[in-house]
Amino acid sequence: MRAIYYTLVWTIWMLGAITSASAEPGDVCWSKFMSAPLEAIPDCTLLINKDEWTNNGFKSTIYFKRGVARLMDALQRKTKKFDGAFDDLTESIEIEPSPNRGTAYYFRANIHMLRGNKSSAVRDFKKSLELEPNGAFHPDAEKQIKKLGG
């Protein structure tokens, strides 16, 4: 579990470094979803409930960021409460357009892995590679697929 945690922390840091340039100044959901998940979760929820954000194509990204924040919170607290994170990442995947779809599959695969659902993890890792073949998480996804026997 420690290796998964450190891999996720590194990936989230990379993702934050990539996406922070496009973030609106002051949006806690955007800027702190990886570093301060307890602050980001309620802010993301407020954004989800605002029509002005959800109607202009950001809804998928907001669900993605809240899902990652929830996953980080569960890992930091060492709980196995991944349902909220899983649901948010699934919502992010299903919403069109979904600019984070490949990365959302990657994080959802890690939740499957933490839950012991190997076949679902392999499926989501493969989908993440298909959607984002040059993503920052690509080497880890390939490694996890081999490790899980996929």
DSSP assignment of 101-123, as one string? Answer: HHHHHHHHHHHHHHHT-HHHHHH
Structural domains of the chain, with CATH: 2-147 (1.25.40.10)
C-alpha–C-alpha distance, residues 88 and 44, integer Å: 11
The DSSP code for 132 is: -
Residue 80 C-alpha from the chain's centroid: 16
Please report which confidence band the pLDDT of residue 150 belongs to, taking 50, 70 and 90 as the band edges: confident
Please report which confidence band the pLDDT of residue 9 belongs to, taking 50, 70 and 90 as the band edges: low
Rounded to two decimals, the pTM is 0.80
Residues 75-110 have pLDDT tens digits of: 999 998 999 999 999 999 998 767 788 999 999 999
C-alpha–C-alpha distance, residues 19 and 105, integer Å: 17
Residues 123-142 have pLDDT tens digits of: 999 999 999 888 888 899 99
Cα distances from 107 to residues 3, 40, 80, 120, in angstroms, run 14, 17, 15, 12
- Nearby residues of 135 by Cβ (< 8 Å), 6 or more positions away: 102, 103, 106, 128, 129, 141
DSSP assignment of 58-98, as one string? Answer: -HHHHHHHHHHHHHHHHHHHT----HHHHHHHHHHHHSSS-
pLDDT at 19: 45
Please, are residues 85 and 68 in contact by the beta-carbon 8 Å criterion?
yes
pLDDT at 136: 85
